[in-house]
Structure 1
Amino acid sequence: MEILASRVLFRPKDYQRSIAFYRDGIGLAIAREYSGGTVFYAGQSLIEIAGHGAPGRDAPPFPGALWLQVRDLHATQNELRERGIDIAREALREPWGLFEMHVVDPDGVMLIFVQVPEDHPLRRDLRD
């Protein structure tokens, strides 16, 4: 099997509220719009908010979280606050070495904003 592309797809309870959250609150750029949906750029991935199909209230809760890497976590936290986004958990350094901050979308999906410090193994070239 060859995977050619992937994206996260949400079917929210309130389509317009979710579009406003991801576009205006989080500040994601729109990759494309179609009748009944909007696809956002999210780094090397895509997030699609679908206004069609089974609404989110009929679907099981999202079992995971979105991991969104940023260059400067404290600047991101300040920017989100200025846009009126509630910070569920303030930026802090985790025991595993990453700086993380949590935000929750209108349907309860956890967004984990991450900054990888210069000294973290994710920044090192482990090839010989």
Structure 2
Amino acid sequence: MFHKIDATVLFVQDLSKSIEFYRDTLELSLVFQDAGSATFKMENQYILLLAPSTATNLLSDEANPVKIEGSARFLLATGVENVDATYETLKSRGVTFLKPPISQPWGLRTAHFTDPEGNIWEINQSIEEN
């Protein structure tokens, strides 16, 4: 039934600060922006940022209101060429990490950080066996 995810939508309270983070810190390509949203592209995946009022107008009606409050409920994972180098680059740009790079028993080297809204990201790379 489902074959791929085309877009991930993040609900953000401070749209301007989030746009700055995704555009300037993570260097994602901004492809659309208006007063209540922003769209970034990563190869064949879109990351959309929606302000609460835009999300409410888009996703709900009076009978079925959408609640946008709460903490992170999922994790976005992305592969990188070198976790340690990416970690150092993002740290130098002020990114706050939850966990520094660590080799996991399931064959990935990972590190975890949050965006300004508390959404959790994982950067990872495959650990090659020697």
SS in 2 for 1:17: helix
1:6 aligns with 2:16: no
The offset of 1:10, in angstroms, is 1.3
Unaligned regions of 5+ residues in structure 1, if any?
120-128
1:74 aligns with 2:84: yes
1:90 aligned to which of 72, 77, 100: 100
Q: Is the 8 A contact 1:89 1:102 kept in 2?
A: yes
The offset of 1:43, in angstroms, is 4.1
Q: Is the 8 A contact 1:42 1:68 kept in 2?
A: no
Amino acid corresponding to residue 75 of structure 1 in structure 2: A
- The structure-2 alpha-carbon separation of the partners of 1:118 and 1:3, relative to structure 1 and needing over 3 Å to count, comes to closer
Report Cα offsets for 1:69-118 as digits up to 9, x if no partner. Answer: 10111110111012111222100101111000000112211101111123
Report Cα offsets for 1:11-68 as digits up to 9, x if no partner. Answer: 20111111111111222121333452211123432110123224xx843433210001
Amino acid corresponding to residue 68 of structure 1 in structure 2: T
Matches within 5 A, 1:97-112: 97-112=107-122
* Equivalent-residue separation in structure 2 for 1:102 and 1:59 (angstroms): 22
Q: TM-score, normalising length from structure 2?
A: 0.77
Deviates more, 1:87-96 or 1:43-52: 43-52
- The structure-2 alpha-carbon separation of the partners of 1:63 and 1:4, relative to structure 1 and needing over 3 Å to count, comes to closer
Equivalent position of 1:31 in the other structure: 31
1:22 aligns with 2:22: yes
- The structure-2 alpha-carbon separation of the partners of 1:43 and 1:92, relative to structure 1 and needing over 3 Å to count, comes to farther
The alignment of Structure 1 onto Structure 2 pairs a total of residues equal to 119
Higher strand share: 2
* Equivalent-residue separation in structure 1 for 2:34 and 2:5 (angstroms): 18
Equivalent position of 1:47 in the other structure: 47
